[in-house]
Amino acid sequence: MTNLTKLLAATALGVCLAGSAAADNITLKLAGVVPVEHFGNTLLDQIKKDIEAANVDVTVNLFPAGQLGSGEELFEAASRGNVDLVHSVVYAHNDPVLEINSLPYLVSSWDDAEKTYLKKDSPFNTIFAERLDGLGLKLLANAPEGFIGVVAKGVPANATNTDSKDMNIRVWSSQVIKSTVNAMGFKSTTMNWGEVFPAIQSGTVDGAICCTAQLAYSAFATSGVGKAFIPYNAVVENTTYYASKKSWGKMNEAQQKAVQAAFDKAAKDYAAWGRNNEAEYVKKLSESGYQVVEVSDADRATIAKKVRADVWPQIAEIVGQDVIDKLMAAK
């Protein structure tokens, strides 16, 4: 072999090796939707640091506070592989079985919530992961933030029972949650999260079922939108960390392990923070001028009984009785 041939061969080998090494370096887009002041953004920073600190050749670029779109838009973008990692609520607009994320009064305590949403092999997570997989997404972790209530322009009539509220509130894209608020006495209008603030401000709707006390404070009270919060605790605000399957498939085993570990840690931290800070944010809402309606355990139990009677039969028709049976067997 001549010196020139050797040189060319060595150069070609170097290019191949360099190309192989470069292919192992991945930059991932991590997008979220919660407001800037929300604790969820602190965890996005934590996730980025934990993944990059693992030294597995992954760089994470953050796009918080809806910079890349609403939860519905990010769901579609991740399915196509245009966004790699997402933190958002998962809606059921592409798969009715995902309505299990809106089951009213599925759990009634933080202990129940953690067993249902954090435990990897719980029936809820098993079903959730299977349905996301069919939509081109990989479940990384579910993260219960807390129990949600209603933000409104004022205290509705019959706020602590199921009689007519004479109030039209926003619901997310879920027939289950629409039926839930109707059973509670509200009228309802379906709209995306990004439309809620201007809709309440303009009077298109009178409020929204949407928020834990923490989110009600950080998103609404600090923005001067709404005047009342009613903690019905009908549904757990279960936010989800998920990945595009296309992006997941491009990672090597070490990278996948580092990414999964970072999200597992964040989900546990999210739940612990929600459990420990719920009461604090109820107090902050009151201090901000919001009127927080006191709903007694007895009132809430009465509301829950009617909601389950009216709504759960509808849920079985939507998601399948087999799915309901799996979820209830765990209880």
Domain ranges for the chain: 25-145+238-279, 149-236+280-329
The predicted-structure confidence for 148-197, as pLDDT tens digits, reads as follows: 999 999 999 999 999 999 999 999 988 889 999 999 999 999 998 889 99
The model carries a pTM of 0.83
Q: How much of the chain exceeds pLDDT 70, in percent?
A: 93
**Buried-state track 158-180, b at ≥16 Cβ within 10 A, e below 16:** ebbebeebebebbbbbbbbbbbb
Lowest mean pLDDT among 9-23, 105-119, 211-225: 9-23
Distance of CA 129 to CAs 92, 93, 133, 134, 174, Å? 13, 16, 6, 9, 19
* Three-class DSSP category at 46: helix
Q: Is the pLDDT reported for residue 22 higher than 70?
A: no
The domains spanning 25-145+238-279 and 149-236+280-329 adopt the same CATH topology:
yes
CA atoms within 13 A on the CB side of 280: 7
Residue 301: how many other CB atoms lie within 10 Å: 11
86 pairs with which residues across the strands? 31, 242
Could you identify the residue written with the tokens 């809806």? 66
For residues 75 and 152, give the distance between their C-alpha atoms in angstroms, rounded to a whole number: 28
Q: How confident is the model at residue 26 (pLDDT cuts 50, 70, 90)?
A: very high
Q: How confident is the model at residue 24 (pLDDT cuts 50, 70, 90)?
A: confident
Tell which wins on pLDDT, 59 or 108: 59
- pLDDT confidence of residue 261: 98
- pLDDT confidence of residue 19: 38
Could you identify the residue written with the tokens 């990278």? 255
Q: ∠ at Cα 136 (133, 141), nearest 5°?
A: 55
Given the candidates 3.40.50.1980, 3.10.20.90, 3.40.30.10, 3.40.190.170, the CATH classification of the domain at 149-236+280-329 is 3.40.190.170
Q: How confident is the model at residue 147 (pLDDT cuts 50, 70, 90)?
A: very high
- Tell me whether residue 243 is exposed, middle or buried, using C-beta atoms within 10 angstroms of its C-beta: 0 to 12, 13 to 18, 19 or more: buried
For residues 174 and 148, give the distance between their C-alpha atoms in angstroms, rounded to a whole number: 15
The predicted-structure confidence for 263-292, as pLDDT tens digits, reads as follows: 999 999 999 999 999 999 999 999 999 999
Average pLDDT value over all residues in the chain:
91
pLDDT (average), residues 294-299: 94
Q: Position 157: which residue type? A: A
Q: Is the pLDDT reported for residue 3 higher than 60?
A: no
Show the beta-strand stretches assigned E in 23-100: 26-32, 58-63, 85-88
Q: Give the CATH H-level superfamily of domain 25-145+238-279.
A: Bacterial extracellular solute-binding protein, family 7 (3.40.190.170)
Lowest mean pLDDT among 11-15, 58-62, 232-236: 11-15
Q: Is the pLDDT reported for residue 13 higher than 80?
A: no
Residue 295: how many other CB atoms lie within 10 Å: 17
Q: How much of the chain exceeds pLDDT 90, in percent?
A: 82
Handedness of CA 20, 48, 196, 164 (dihedral sign): positive
